[in-house]
Structure 1
Amino acid sequence: MTGFVLFGTTGWGSALVEAQFDYYGLDYRFETVGDLFKDPEARAKLENVNPLKQIPTLVLPNGQVMTESAAITLWLAQYTGRDDLVPGNGAPEQAAFLRWLIYLVANVYPTYTYADDPSRFVSVEAAQAPFKAAINAYRERLWRIVEDVAGDPWFLGTRFSALDLYVGVMTHWTPRQSWFAANAQTLDAIASQAKALEALQHFWERNFPET
C-alpha cells in the first residue's frame, strides 16, 4: 500500500482538496501536473490516471482513484471520522451544507471549465470572446446568489465547514478578490477568515503567495 497521492497544479482546483488534507493533518504526496491547457505532457501524465485529464485527481492508499472535489470532500470526512469540515447526519446545517457544496461544484466551478479554454466548446475563434464574456457575467450572477445566502462569520453561520475553504480558494479566481471586496463583502470576509486559519498558513503561501 502506498499513501495518498494528489495530482494537481498550484492554485488550481486541486487546492480545494489540498486545503482539506492540510486542515486534517493527513500525510499525502502532491504530484505536480503542470498547465493542462498549454502543456501536452501535463495532459498525457494525468490521462494515465484520469481519462478526463482534470484536477483534482486523488489516488487512495489502496490504488483506487477518486475525482470530483465534492466527492473527495465527503469521503475524507468519512475516512477521518471527523465532522469539523462536513456536518454529520442529524446536524442542523447538513442540508444547507450539501446544497451549497453541490451548487459550487455543479454551477460555479464549471464556468471556469468553459471560460478557461472556450475552443473546447466554441469552434469559431471569433465567437470565443463573446462566449467567454457571457460565461464571466453568468459566473458573477451565480456568486451574487451565494452572497445573498452566506452566513456570518462563516458560510453556515457560527459553524465552520469545508464551504469556507471553497470560498477562500475560489475568491482567488476570476472575478478575483477585488470584485468580491466590492460586490460580495460577506464572501470576502469569509475568505479572509479562512486565510487566517493557523493550520493553513503554509497552504495559502504555497498556492496564493501574492495574498
Structure 2
Amino acid sequence: MITVYGAPGWGSAISELMLTLAEIPYQFDNVDGFDKPGPQQERLRSINPLCQVPTLQLDDGSVMTETAAIALMILDKRPDLAPPVGTPEREQFWRLLVWLVANVYPTFTYADYPERFAPDAPEQLRERCVAYRKTLYLWLDKQLQAAPWAFGEQLTLLDIYICVLRTWGPRQGWFAQNAPKMSAIADAVCGLPSLRNVLRSNDII
C-alpha cells in the first residue's frame, strides 16, 4: 500500500484527496513538525533528503514527490480525472496544473520562510509574495468555467488543488469576494461525501 508522509493542512492534503478521489488505497503517516529540527524532520529526511510533504512511498518501496508528478501517476490509473484526450480542455488542464505548481507554490515557499532568502528584509519579502499571489489567483479565476468544476461538468484533479489552496492565504473570505469561481469550485469539492473524512482531518471543512 502507498504510504503518504504528510502533515494535516499542508500540501500533503492535495495528495490525500487525489488518492481518495481516485479510490487508490493509501495509509497516512503524520510527520507534523517536519519543518523544524527534531525526530519528525529526521524521519522524513531519511526517506526524502529535501524533507518535503507530500512524500509518497510506493508499493515497491520507491519514493514519489511533487504533487504534479503524483497527479500524473494517479491519472495513469484514473484517466477520467482529467479532460478527454484531444480536447482543448485537456490542453488547458496540463497548462493550469503545471502553472499552479510553477507559479503559485513558490510564493508560499518565499512567504513562509522569507529569512532563508532575504534575511535583511523578511517582512517585505513576505508581503510582496502574498500580494503577488493574489494577482495570480485573480488571473486563474478568469480562466475557469466553474459550472460547477474548473472545466464545466467534469470533476478533475485540478479542482482538488483549488479546494486546498483556498484554505491557505489569503483565506476563504478573500476568495469569496475576489475569486468567486475558485470559491465555488472549492465549495463543490467540500460537498463530495467520499472526501469528507480527508477534508475534515486536514481542517478544510
TM-score range, shorter chain: over 0.9
Structure 2: gaps spanning 5 or more residues:
none
Task: Name which of 31, 34, 38 aligns with 2:32.
Answer: 34
Q: Is the 8 A contact 2:146 2:182 kept in 1?
A: no
| Secondary structure, aligned partner of 1:58 | strand
Task: Give the letter for the 2:128 counterpart.
Answer: A
What is the CA–CA distance in structure 2 between the aligned matches of 1:136 and 1:50, rounded to whole Å? Answer: 28
Aligned-pair identity in percent equals 39
What is the CA–CA distance in structure 2 between the aligned matches of 1:171 and 1:201, rounded to whole Å? Answer: 16
What is the CA–CA distance in structure 2 between the aligned matches of 1:142 and 1:114, rounded to whole Å? Answer: 15
Tell me if 1:130 matches 2:128. no
Task: Name which of 176, 190, 202 aligns with 1:181.
Answer: 176
Note the C-alpha offset of 1:39.
4.4
Could you give the per-residue CA deviations for residues 72-122 of structure 1, whole angstroms, max 9, x where no partner exists? Answer: 1011111x2x22322353244210100000011111112111111111111
Q: Is the 8 A contact 1:74 1:86 kept in 2?
A: no
Aligned to 1:104: 100
Q: Is the 8 A contact 2:5 2:28 kept in 1?
A: yes
Aligned to 2:48: 50
Could you give the per-residue CA deviations for residues 99-157 of structure 1, whole angstroms, max 9, x where no partner exists? Answer: 00001111111211111111111122xx1111100000010011111011111211112
Aligned to 1:85: 81
Task: Give the letter for the 1:101 counterpart.
Answer: L
Tell me if 1:67 matches 2:65. yes
Aligned to 1:155: 150
What is the CA–CA distance in structure 2 between the aligned matches of 1:110 and 1:186, rounded to whole Å? Answer: 23
Tell me if 1:18 matches 2:21. no
Task: Give the letter for the 1:15 counterpart.
Answer: A
Q: Is the 8 A contact 2:64 2:70 kept in 1?
A: yes
Structure 1: gaps spanning 5 or more residues:
none
Task: Give the letter for the 1:43 counterpart.
Answer: Q
Tell me if 1:146 matches 2:104. no
What is the CA–CA distance in structure 2 between the aligned matches of 1:160 and 1:91, rounded to whole Å? Answer: 15
What is the CA–CA distance in structure 2 between the aligned matches of 1:108 and 1:191, rounded to whole Å? Answer: 17
Dislocated runs of 4+, deviation >6 Å? none
Note the C-alpha offset of 1:190.
0.6
> What is the TM-score normalised by the length of structure 1?
0.92
Tell me if 1:6 matches 2:4. yes
> What is the TM-score normalised by the length of structure 2?
0.95
